[in-house]
């Protein structure tokens, strides 16, 4: 248990180390979410355009 406490304590730099890693993983997560949402939306838009064109024929 002492080892685990030492690990989280980061030699007194806990606040700095964990906030830097936390922020970086947040940025990675947001990038994945944004990219997937963008693709899903543009696929939806493309479908709508096709359906509208199909309706005109």
Residue 17 neighbours by CB under 8 Å, 6+ apart:
10
Does residue number 28 form part of the binding site for other proteins (CB under 8 A)?
yes
Please tell me whether residue 33 binds other proteins under the rule CB under 8 A.
Answer: no
Q: Does 29 bind other proteins (CB under 8 A)?
A: no
Least gap, CB of 5 to other proteins (angstroms): 13
Q: How far is the CB of 46 from other proteins (least distance, A)?
A: 5
Count of helix runs (H) and strand runs (E) in the chain: 2, 0
- Our finding on whether 38 is near other proteins (CB under 8 A) is yes
Question: Would you say 16 and 9 are in contact if contact means Cβ atoms under 8 Å apart?
Answer: no
């Amino acid at each position: 248990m002492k080892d685990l406490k030492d690990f989280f304590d980061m030699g007194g730099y806990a606040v700095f180390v964990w906030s830097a890693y936390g922020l970086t993983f947040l940025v990675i997560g947001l990038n994945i979410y944004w990219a997937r949402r963008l693709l899903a939306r543009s696929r939806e838009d493309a479908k709508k355009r096709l359906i509208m064109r199909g309706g005109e024929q």
